[in-house]
Copies of this chain bind each other. A is one copy, B any other.
Amino acid sequence: MISKKMKYAIKALCYLGEHSQSQMVVKTQDISNYKKIPKKFLEQILLELKKAKIVNSKQGNEGGYYLLKNTKDINLADIYRIFEGPIALIACASENFYQPCEDCIDESNCKLKKSIKTVRNETLESMKKITIFSLQ
C-alpha cells in the first residue's frame, strides 16, 4: 500500500501535467485547492519532487512549480522510489536500494532473493507502464 504522501504526489503531478505549460508555473495554493491536499504537506512533497528533478520551481512573487519532464516520462516506478523506497520486497533484491540481509550466509545461492528479484522485475515493468500522461 502506498502512503497518502505518494497519492498526493501523483495527484499534484497530474495537476501540474494539465496546467503547467512551458514557462508557466502553478502555485502550491492552486494545487492544494483543486486536489484537496493540505498546503503545508504539499510543500514538502513538491520539495521532494524537486530534489528528484521531476519538477522545478520559481521562487518569489508569481513563483510556483512546473514539470521538468514530459508527462509520458514520469512513471509510477519513479514516484514509488521517491516516496516509498525500493520496489523489491527485500532490500537484497533491490537494484536502486541494495542492502545485504544481516543474517544471510550465502547470498548468491539464496532462493528467496532470486524469487523476490523476479517479482520485483515483473512489478517494475507493470509500474513503468503507468505514467502521469496515462493517468490524466
Using a CB–CB cutoff of 8 Å, the interface residues on chain A facing chain B are 1-2, 7, 10, 36, 76, 85-86, 88-91, 103, 111-112, 115-116, 118-119, 122-123, 125-127, 129-130, 134-136
Secondary structure at chain A's binding surface: helix, strand, loop or mixed?
helix
- A90-B2, A91-B1, A103-B36 known; A76+B7 contact, CB < 8 A: no
The answer to whether A112 touches B85, judged by C-beta atoms less than 8 angstroms apart, is no
**Cα–Cα, bound, A3→B89 (Å):** 9
Q: Which B residues touch A127, using CB under 8 A?
A: 119
- A1-B85, A1-B91, A86-B1 known; A134+B119 contact, CB < 8 A: no
The answer to whether A130 touches B126, judged by C-beta atoms less than 8 angstroms apart, is no
**Cα–Cα, bound, A136→B111 (Å):** 8
